[in-house]
Structure 1
Amino acid sequence: MSMEIGILTFGEMTRDPSTGRMPSPRQRLLDTLEQARLADEVGLDVFGVGEHHRGDFIASATPVILSAIAAVTTRIRLASTVTVLSSDDPVRIWEQYATIDQISGGRAEIMAGRGSYTESFPLFGYSLHDYDALFAEKLDLLLRIRDGNPVTWSGRFRAPLTDADIAPHALQRRLPIWQAVGGTVASAIGAGRRGLPLMIAFLAGPIDAQRGLVDSYHAAASRAGVNPRSLRIGASVHGFVASHMRHARDVMYPHFVAGMSQNNHRRDEPFPLPREAFDLQAGPRGMIVAGGPQEVVDKIMTYRRLYGIDRIMLQMGFGGVPQKEHLKAIELLGTRVAPEIRRLTKDDAAPSAPPSSASDAPPDQAWCHRAERPSQVTNRSSKEER
């Protein structure tokens, strides 16, 4: 199938690194709606909104934002990127996203993750000691609700259900539920065992660093009797598109650093990323996708060759990129990048290739703050299962 191209936002509110100005929550929400409308108009395939429960984000109620986007768009698919399933109620999640599916005419998707930003656990009365068990139980219940109704079920973390009639039904026959992962192989194995599509979050490092995760995903699917070729794989990456490479990186770099400092797990902690390291990450063998249209096409095709992905979502405005620049990037992604990617992948089965041994990434990856389980270190920087 041809690749799908989309964008996502966490709804972070970041002080401008040049002026120090902070957007209001209302302006940030209005900007997000404008970005989604334009993404729909220029033909992008999917728009995602992440979930965070802190004052420096406006997306604590992701389904409400996606419903507003559904009302001002006509074609683009609408996804949570991601739903922090471990600290929410699967019944309520289903009700919300099935409603979005009805409003949007069948365009809703759920991307379920464990959560690496852990503020929602104490906020809603959950313990990080139950981190794994919460996710496993709640994902199984969410899938039960999707695949059969009424539902009879019992578990550890919510009241049992007996012939529960959970409404509304989704408009789609089978509302897509993805499992979102960062660097945890066990999570990918769980997704493969369940036969779920996999969305991988890439932050920084060598572009081929997650090959083992995909191999484990495919192996788990095979052991469970699921044909790996039937499973979808997507990539979530930081990126930016401009008319030429230098401008894209000049715009993205200061905002990326500002966002990683102000809006990461440890708020307002300096994020020492030299420009040289950023440029290496935006180069051919780093994870960041930033450049002119052709550089972005080339990088996306590298992801496809390495991982067999059929969807990529760019987080382009991270760190408060000015709206004018952000909208121009969306326009270029939709009019210059996406058509070329679709042309190149129209008849391509997207086979996974063996990992490359070469890398342009800096040998010292300490600045990436590689993802760790929140049960081990709760405030380290990562995008793990967001």
Structure 2
Amino acid sequence: MESLQAQPPLSKEGMNLIGEIMQIGIFSVGDRTADPATGRAPTEQERIKGTVELALRAEQAGLDVFATGEHHIPPYVTSSPTTLLSFIAAKTSTLNLSTSTTLITTNDPVKIAEDYAMLQHLSDGRLDLMLGRGNSGPVYGWFGKETRDGISLAVENYALLRRLWDEERITWEGKFRTPLQNFQSTPRPLGGKAPFVWHGSVRSPEIAEQAAYYGDGYFANHIFGPPQHTARMIDLYRDRFEHYGHGTADQAIVGIGAHAYIRKNSQDAVREFQPYFDNAPMFPGGSALSDYMAQTPTIAGSPQQVIEKTLSFRSYTGGVQRILFALEVGGVPLKTALEQIDMLGEHVVPVLRKELASTPA
């Protein structure tokens, strides 16, 4: 890793930002994919307000977390996650709010430090964020960066972000932005404690290393990849977490993501999900849904099947602190997505909590 020096062990207070109880929630990427049944895509306002409805329903259903992505390219509408999450914070009281991507590469670390500290105050501390590099190459150029610098930007920008949150005033000079002289970001983190940070990645070992180095959480967004790859990434993170003195490998803070589509019986789930699977640009065209589910964490089935497959993740992830489900891929309409949240909250989450509390990984 570039510019990494030995870090002190993660404090007990830092660990408590997440805690020992696993959190279960949902995440939305905010795309405006057309419903394959009608051919109609929601308007930008419909999609934005619909995302708020998803978050409110998640709290009503007893879920722990709602997370939103950050994208700056059509057909996505989630270009300003802090604005969206601030609005949701004002309408909720218990829901933990997060990002499923905050672009550490193209956002100014000063702006991230100030925006998310502000949101931390407004939400009474119900905030963490997941840093990532995104999946849209053109975004780098739009924000004056180079795609080839992605990893280096992630390393340098996060090193600066940590100092902005942890130190009252800093003097700093790096490669990718103008120097800072005796600078103080404002507002300061709530209660002097920075928001908890997850480092999200699908394929980059450098990001797993970065998360371990700082003692932060690592979110293995394994929604597309085979279990073997996810296992290697998580094992790397756990080994390096212990290497840097933050605790034992099994104390490392891991989160995972999965796609799900839930109906009372599996036949209905598969039949209904098939057109959304075929319609979603993130899925490989021409793949059989049954084959794809066998090879990835995607689940279309009954509540019991969702429970069983989710529990099976532990065979290669070990114990995890957070699971986020994507329930609206491929143009799933808002009404159906809300039904999915209700099914998740009523039939899946209580069993998962019980099983995961009583059975070691």
Q: TM-score, normalised by structure 1?
A: 0.83
Q: 1:298 aligns with which of 295, 308, 311?
A: 308
- Structure 1 segments unaligned to the other structure (5+ residues): 265-269, 351-386
Q: Which AA in structure 2 matches 1:224?
A: Y
Q: 2:197 aligns with which of 171, 174, 177?
A: 177
Equivalent pairs, count: 339
CA contact (8 A) 1:202 1:238 kept: no
**Match in the other structure for 1:19:** 38
- Shifted more, 51-60 versus 221-230: the winner is 221-230
Once residues 278 and 212 of structure 1 are traced to their aligned partners in structure 2, the CA distance between those partners, rounded to angstroms, is 25
Q: 2:181 aligns with which of 140, 150, 162?
A: 162
TM superposition shift of 1:313: 0.4
TM superposition shift of 1:222: 2.5
**Match in the other structure for 1:226:** 246
Task: Give the SS at the match of 1:319.
Answer: helix
> Are 1:330 and 2:341 matched, yes or no?
yes
Root-mean-square deviation (CA), in Å? 1.8
TM superposition shift of 1:2: 3.3
> Are 1:61 and 2:61 matched, yes or no?
no
Once residues 257 and 162 of structure 1 are traced to their aligned partners in structure 2, the CA distance between those partners, rounded to angstroms, is 53
> 1:284-295 to 2 correspondence within 5 Å?
286-295=296-305
Task: Give the SS at the match of 1:47.
Answer: strand
CA contact (8 A) 1:40 1:76 kept: yes
Task: Give the SS at the match of 1:202.
Answer: coil
Q: 1:191 aligns with which of 194, 204, 211?
A: 211
**Match in the other structure for 1:372:** none
CA contact (8 A) 1:106 1:170 kept: no
Task: Give the SS at the match of 1:88.
Answer: coil
Higher relative contact order (CA 8 A, sep 6+): 1
Once residues 53 and 61 of structure 1 are traced to their aligned partners in structure 2, the CA distance between those partners, rounded to angstroms, is 9
> Are 1:97 and 2:116 matched, yes or no?
yes
CA contact (8 A) 2:164 2:184 kept: no
Instruction: Summarize deviations over 1:348-385 as a string: whole Å, max 9, x none.
Output: 554xxxxxxxxxxxxxxxxxxxxxxxxxxxxxxxxxxx
Q: Which AA in structure 1 matches 2:133?
A: R
- Shifted more, 174-183 versus 112-121: the winner is 112-121
> 1:21-36 to 2 correspondence within 5 Å?
21-36=40-55
**Match in the other structure for 1:111:** 130
- Percent identity, aligned pairs only, is 31
Instruction: Summarize deviations over 1:9-49 as a string: whole Å, max 9, x none.
Output: 11001122122112100001111111100001111111010
Q: Which AA in structure 1 matches 2:262?
A: V
TM superposition shift of 1:254: 1.6
Once residues 190 and 241 of structure 2 are traced to their aligned partners in structure 1, the CA distance between those partners, rounded to angstroms, is 28
**Match in the other structure for 2:10:** none
Instruction: Summarize deviations over 1:286-329 as a string: whole Å, max 9, x none.
Output: 32122211111111111133212221101110122022211111
Q: Which AA in structure 2 matches 1:294?
A: Q
**Match in the other structure for 1:384:** none
**Match in the other structure for 1:49:** 68
CA contact (8 A) 2:26 2:327 kept: yes
CA contact (8 A) 1:204 1:281 kept: no
> 1:337-356 to 2 correspondence within 5 Å?
337-350=348-361
Relative to structure 1, is the Cα distance of residues 256 and 69 closer, same or farther in structure 2, using a 3 angstrom cutoff? Answer: farther
> Are 1:216 and 2:229 matched, yes or no?
no
Relative to structure 1, is the Cα distance of residues 45 and 273 closer, same or farther in structure 2, using a 3 angstrom cutoff? Answer: farther
CA contact (8 A) 2:121 2:190 kept: yes
TM superposition shift of 1:339: 0.9
Once residues 222 and 2 of structure 1 are traced to their aligned partners in structure 2, the CA distance between those partners, rounded to angstroms, is 21
Q: 1:207 aligns with which of 207, 212, 227?
A: 227
CA contact (8 A) 1:8 1:47 kept: yes
Give the 4+ runs in structure 1 shifted more than 4 A: none
**Match in the other structure for 1:321:** 332
- Shifted more, 20-29 versus 243-252: the winner is 243-252
Relative to structure 1, is the Cα distance of residues 347 and 82 closer, same or farther in structure 2, using a 3 angstrom cutoff? Answer: same
> 1:229-248 to 2 correspondence within 5 Å?
229-248=250-269
CA contact (8 A) 1:14 1:56 kept: yes
CA contact (8 A) 1:151 1:161 kept: yes
Q: Which AA in structure 1 matches 2:303?
A: P
**Match in the other structure for 1:250:** 271
Q: 2:285 aligns with which of 258, 272, 292?
A: 272
Instruction: Summarize deviations over 1:231-283 as a string: whole Å, max 9, x none.
Output: 210001222222222222223232233221xxx5xxxxx95233xx3123334
**Match in the other structure for 1:121:** 140
CA contact (8 A) 1:85 1:138 kept: yes
